[in-house]
Amino acid sequence: MSFDDLPFGPDDLERAEKELSEIADRLAERFRGTFTHASVERYVFESYQALAASARLAAFLPALTERFADDRLVALAYAQKPPVRPVPQVLFVCDRNAARSQMAAALLDMQARGRVNTRSAGSRPAAELELGVLEAMAEIGADISAEYPKPLTDEFVAAADIIVTVGCDDACPVLPGKRYLDWNVPDPEGKDMVEVRRIRDELDLLVADLLTYLPEAADRGTDDPKGTPDV
């Protein structure tokens, strides 16, 4: 596989290839029996390219690439062969994946306590999360500082049972068998903390309502909290 198009200078190409090859080796071992090494390597390369499009610092890209590629492969494995007792899969989508969708996913995680698997993504992902969003979520005990904006992928959509859009326009693909919800919530970008908190609290109410439409999540145990296939 060629790494010529990666956003490194000529002196860093060897290091980039080595790091991404090591990531591919680790993930190929994790997904042994599910995906071939070549498929895993392709996902690693594509994930790096997708994140690099909006990244500001190349130094963090390898670590984020491993997380993103792993999540994509888990979603793909789930879509191809769901577990016997799957937990509901909810995908939140906004344009930049820097505020609303990240908050909604974290709020659902808090309320569902492992009985729902959540993901978030953006149709035009930003370089980083909004600082006001990090602060507002930290105020209620949700530390999302380790999260990062992720591009919307086909695997995320295919694995989802419910897709909630909060400002991605028409960028989210529509697949049969999915339930789609659209939440008309303002974008916190550029807003003061009073407004960011108001948006957070509005999302919290919407998430609580969403959870009532997932009765299986209320009755299900947590023996398989992520509802992922054996990989």
Give the pLDDT score at 107: 98
Within a 10 A sphere around the Cβ of 220, how many other Cβ atoms?
A: 20
Digit-coded pLDDT (tens) for 46-89? 999 899 888 877 778 899 999 999 999 999 999 998 887 778 99
Digit-coded pLDDT (tens) for 185-204? 999 999 999 999 999 999 99
Give the pLDDT score at 100: 97
137 in the same domain as 104? yes
Q: Which amino acid is at 179?
A: R
**Between 2 and 162, the higher pLDDT residue:** 162
CATH classification of the domain holding 62: 1.10.8.1060
140 in the same domain as 76? no
Instruction: Assess whether pLDDT exceeds 60 at residue 154.
Output: yes
Instruction: Assess whether pLDDT exceeds 70 at residue 4.
Output: no
182 in the same domain as 106? yes
The C-alpha atoms of residue 179 and residue 161 are separated, in whole angstroms, by 6
pTM, entire model = 0.87
Final residue in a domain of this structure, among 46, 80, 114: 80
164 in the same domain as 63? no
106 in the same domain as 43? no
Q: Is 120 helix (H, G, I), strand (E, B) or coil?
A: strand
Final residue in a domain of this structure, among 51, 80, 109: 80
Return all residues near 75 (Cβ < 8 A) that are at least 6 apart. Answer: 119, 153, 155, 156, 158, 159
Instruction: Assess whether pLDDT exceeds 50 at residue 224.
Output: no
C-alpha dihedral (141, 146, 166, 135), degrees to nearest 10: 40
136: containing domain = 89-219
Read off the pLDDT of each residue in 88-94 and give the average, rounded to a whole number: 95
- Helix ranges, the chain (H): 13-30, 37-52, 61-80, 100-112, 131-138, 154-159, 193-212, 215-219
Give the pLDDT score at 120: 97
Final residue in a domain of this structure, among 63, 80, 97: 80
For the chain, the residue count is 231
Digit-coded pLDDT (tens) for 103-149? 999 999 999 988 899 999 999 999 999 999 999 999 999 999 999 99
Give the pLDDT score at 57: 72
Instruction: Assess whether pLDDT exceeds 80 at residue 163.
Output: yes
Question: What total of structural domains would you count in the chain?
Answer: 2
99 in the same domain as 162? yes
Read off the pLDDT of each residue in 38-46 and give the average, rounded to a whole number: 96
Residue 154 lies in a domain: yes
Give the pLDDT score at 226: 43
CATH classification of the domain holding 213: 3.40.50.2300
Residue 173 — very low, low, confident or very high, per pLDDT cuts 50/70/90? low
Read off the pLDDT of each residue in 85-99 and give the average, rounded to a whole number: 91
Residue 225 lies in a domain: no
207 in the same domain as 107? yes
159 in the same domain as 200? yes
95 in the same domain as 51? no
Residue 226 lies in a domain: no
75 in the same domain as 106? no
108 in the same domain as 33? no
71 in the same domain as 97? no
Read off the pLDDT of each residue in 39-48 and give the average, rounded to a whole number: 96
